[in-house]
Chain A
Amino acid sequence: MQATERIQAYSKTVCDQVRWKKAHGMIAEEIENHLVDQRDAYIAAGAPEDEATGRALAQMGDPVDIGARLDRTHRPKPQWSMLFLTAALLLAGLVIRLVIVRSGWDRELPVQLLAMAAGLGLMAAAYFADFTLIGRHPKTFFVLLMAAALTAALLSPLLNGRRYYAEFMTLLFPLGFSAVIYALRNKGYRGLIACCLAFLLPCLMALQVPTVAGLLLFAFCGFALLLLAIVKNWFGVSKLFGGLIAAVPFAAALLLVSRMFGMRLTAVLDPFADPNGYGYFAIAIREMLASARLLGPGAPLPADTAQLLRSPMTDTTQLLANLIHSAGWLAFIAVMAVLLLFAVRGFMLCARQKSVIGRLIAMSVMLTFSAQVFGYVLYNLGYPLMDPISLPLISYGNAAMMINLFLIGLMLSVFRTGDVARDKSGGVLKRQSPIAWADGKLIISFSRK
């Protein structure tokens, strides 16, 4: 057997003992590198290649024994705590919607349950899928996502002048953008500027829906992802200039909705200036909250506001305000505690990701989750700056429920298997020069990558 084959056979025996196949590549590479280093050292000391290889293998030890020990270390991490919190949020949503705050609006329970089951199916599929696939075809992924969003916009029915289903597609935009950042990292200012141009596409899509909440959600998440990439030096650009460049498309996005947003802001600051227009919801929600108790149902509401309790918005955009009014502030605090736990744990696990692709995907999902919660809570505490998309897994909305469950599944897949994920072309390494100096030798590589 050739020396190289002996080394490969050895590392294969080691890997055969490790049941988790995704860890094999990483283990084999490290073991083989070590054996080659050791063999070369023996050759340099004067041993013939065959003998050097044999000694290197003997120095490493029994492959079955090493493999068995590595098997104990390398196991997928199921993330029970995050799975438990997801289940808790789903359950809280069901209890709040079906028992505590009943909209009185026609909601078909079988359809809701079916959507939840479909969402759980999507979540399971994403959880067991190989998330690095997005890293292998990032541009295709982004283009397909944009095409899907466009299709949704074209096919979706119009509801209050809004392409209804297309709004929910914006929840996937930060994920799509994370793939763009991944594809263009290591490309310096050119890559960063290309990212900034790509940033505008989801913004324009959101504008076509039109959805201010969707656009702002993407703008904030996309900007945060870009800043993360700049701070982590994934583009290899100066942090100051990079940050300034990234701020340009973000500012442009804010400018796109500034007129609409400005009117909302004026109404939030002084709702009574336009009590039947933009100020209406701010006043109604503040009344609901003012009459709420710490625990138990709040005082009766004025007739005008009480009407809202039987509107379709009861369990979509205003569920939390209604919860506070019907069950008290403690119920709100309990829900927020679970959401906060989910966010804290999620961001902690994001920070532990070693691969760039894992970090980007998980961060995009956590940002999307947090931005939804933030917008929703702001609205429900009497600051309706925009119509929120959804309170993830809790508020009513079948499309949002399915998309959020899919995103969470994908993120958990990163947390579960991220330890062994490798970035394409060696991660964030400096691009390999064709001419290199190593071990006292000048090496010129003619291979094309």
Chain B
Amino acid sequence: MAVDKGLLSGGTTLMILKLLEERDMYGYQMIEELARKSEEVFNLKAGTLYPILHGLENEGMVSSYDDHADSLRVRKYYHLTDKGRAQLKDRQTEWTRFSGAINRVLGGGVSYAGN
């Protein structure tokens, strides 16, 4: 199933931050993990991911380091900083409010029936 791009763009950064909340990852891992978690709904292009990651690093939301934990090749791992963690919390709240509002509109105001 393909998802409308406009809807996705705001959420991409949020999802990247969320993935890194669990553990440090390199780019390829993030794309795989995102596809797996979203049951293949989100097939994020690597070309979209890296500019976002580098931008987040510039803003101090994530930091990076080189490691070769499970391979001979050196990989660039990304780590969520405290600033990034705070940003994730804010964005998550914002997203919940936004998606909740959409759901209520789509649901035809059923939840307000009793008010």
A61 touches B48 (CB 8 A): yes
Interface presence of B55 (CB below 8 A): yes
Interface presence of A73 (CB below 8 A): yes
> Given A30-B76, A61-B45, is A354 in contact with B51 using a C-beta cutoff of 8 Å?
no
Interface presence of A432 (CB below 8 A): yes
Q: How many angstroms from the CA of A31 to the CA of B54 in the assembled complex?
A: 12
Q: How many angstroms from the CA of A34 to the CA of B48 in the assembled complex?
A: 13
Is chain B's interface secondary structure helix, strand, loop, or mixed overall?
Answer: mixed
Q: Which of B45, B46, B54, B74 contacts A429 (CB 8 A)?
A: B74
Interface presence of A310 (CB below 8 A): no
Q: How many angstroms from the CA of A12 to the CA of B30 in the assembled complex?
A: 23
Q: How many A-B residue pairs have CB under 8 A?
A: 73
A33 touches B66 (CB 8 A): no
Interface size class of A (residues with CB under 8 A): 35 or more
Per-residue interface assignment for chain A, residues 1 to 44, with 1 indicating a CB less than 8 Å from any chain B CB and 0 otherwise: 00000000000000000000000001101110111111000000
Per-residue interface assignment for chain A, residues 68 to 102, with 1 indicating a CB less than 8 Å from any chain B CB and 0 otherwise: 01101110000000000000000000000000000
Interface stretch (choices B3-11, B12-20, B57-65, B96-104): B57-65
Contact residues, A391-449 vs B (CB, 8 A): 419, 422, 426-427, 429, 432, 436, 438-439, 443, 445
> Given A34-B27, A59-B45, is A445 in contact with B72 using a C-beta cutoff of 8 Å?
yes
**Inter-chain contacts of A427 with B (CB < 8 A):** 65-66
A66 touches B47 (CB 8 A): yes
B54 touches A438 (CB 8 A): no
**Inter-chain contacts of B54 with A (CB < 8 A):** 70, 73-74
A438 touches B70 (CB 8 A): yes
Q: Which of A66, A436, A438 contacts B51 (CB 8 A)?
A: A66
**Inter-chain contacts of B74 with A (CB < 8 A):** 29, 426, 429
Q: How many angstroms from the CA of A151 to the CA of B113 in the assembled complex?
A: 90
**Inter-chain contacts of B58 with A (CB < 8 A):** 73, 419
Q: How many angstroms from the CA of A429 to the CA of B58 in the assembled complex?
A: 23
A438 touches B71 (CB 8 A): yes
Q: Which of B50, B67, B71, B73 contacts A31 (CB 8 A)?
A: B50
Interface presence of A60 (CB below 8 A): yes
